[in-house]
Chain A
């Protein structure tokens, strides 16, 4: 995979993850994860995104190793 393609893939993936945390999951939980107007899922996004990126990377690396 070329460097440009790799960057594009990570970028697309990051966008999927961000929409998931900042939009889809808050909608799934609704009021269940909100305290006094503060949405706990959105607020934890900074930490969650790092773990999701690692999960994604580990999956990619495992796939590449299996294909090697």
Chain B
């Protein structure tokens, strides 16, 4: 029986199906959460949650390891070692003090979980690890464990990190610190992005351009404006402008200024100037800040304009959008390019391609760009798609599945 670890990500279900069928049902997919385990079982694949392996002795092992680590950090803190290293590295007093005084208790929150995952991985001994990111506090240790134990660790990125002023130059953001041993890249841009970072990190990795599975659905899409308008209760005869506000990540500069709010305010101001248009705004799938979303809804109501808030139904929105505007260089621009109905505008970043109009958070500029866009047909997006998504032939799921099968040990 093959054992494969998969991180909780719906994109992996079709991949698991192909791999399972090729292996004649002789595979168990281990995952992190009971919820995702049930999702996998619901499509008739074998799955186990790694938590099922954490019995009392395993929990004791994990707790013992975690306590030792936290105790070691506490001792360094008492000697002010952490403060001194931080200060000598150029950190400010507040940062050095925070690290010295809080790192042990801070680590106490995450270390037991990571230790438990390590104990589980040692029991499972997976032949392959598949993850949707390799930098967060749960995925990184899994990938580092895989690298240490010479287990292929395949990263199928959940997104393409586009040129972004908020993220800063290379190696100034935590996402630059890649760890997986194999990377499935969306296109040449993403392959080069990872190559540059792996080279700087002096880590070996196989990077293969496969396309990304989340774009497969858009490969041969036939947008139906009439149907989409009906679903969203919009008038087919009036122009439709969709705004994607992005979300704030505190891991980089983007979380340290109010560009998102400024751009949203500029968008709302613009809606008042274009009463002939129908406006929709969305919410980023990762934005779980309900307070901020409610605030945006209230701000939209305060304009007195009939602005629709639509937190899901992305493909429906893109099928009827005449103009799609994003804050910063969001992956939604790539999805909109694949659907090909809308002119693309982004606020606050350098343009990802000549086909995208780049602006500041200024109602005059946004209004002018929308008016210009509505007078023109969408450009040919082939250049943009080929750069980021290898022509988006809809074959990423198949290519990644084949790669996975080639990475598994051959059973005699």
Residues of A within 8 A of B (CB): 6-7, 10-12, 14-20, 22, 24-25, 28-29, 32-33, 35-59
Contact = CB atoms under 8 A, between A and B. Distances in A.
A25 B95 contact: no
Contacts of A43: 110, 114, 137, 140-141, 144
B86 interface: yes
A14 B172 contact: yes
Given A20-B91, A38-B148, A46-B251, A32 B72 contact: yes
B13 interface: no
B89 to A, nearest CB: 5
A61 to B, nearest CB: 11
B115 A18 contact: no
30 contacts: A10-B256, A11-B169, A11-B253, A12-B172, A14-B173, A16-B90, A18-B173, A20-B91, A25-B82, A28-B76, A29-B76, A33-B69, A35-B65, A36-B118, A40-B69, A42-B177, A43-B110, A43-B137, A43-B144, A44-B107, A44-B111, A44-B114, A44-B137, A45-B137, A48-B99, A49-B174, A51-B102, A51-B106, A55-B95, A56-B92
> Secondary structure of the A side of the interface?
helix
Contacts of A41: 107
A1 to B, nearest CB: 12
B89 A28 contact: no
A47 B91 contact: no
B171 interface: yes
A11 B168 CA distance: 6
Q: Top 5 closest A-B pairs, CB basis?
A: A37-B148, A59-B94, A32-B72, A11-B168, A50-B250
A39 B103 CA distance: 15
A17 B114 CA distance: 22
B117 to A, nearest CB: 9
B118 A38 contact: yes
Contacts of A59: 92-95
A37 B253 contact: no
Contacts, number: 148
Given A32-B72, A53-B251, A15 B172 contact: yes
A17 to B, nearest CB: 7
B362 to A, nearest CB: 13
Contacts of A28: 76, 81-82, 85
A52 B95 CA distance: 6
B239 to A, nearest CB: 32
B389 to A, nearest CB: 27
A16 B91 CA distance: 7
Given A33-B73, A43-B141, A44-B137, A51 B98 contact: yes
Interface in B9-35: none
A39 B337 CA distance: 40
Given A29-B73, A58-B94, A42 B171 contact: no
B122 to A, nearest CB: 7
B165 interface: yes
Nearest to A48: B106
A43 B136 CA distance: 7
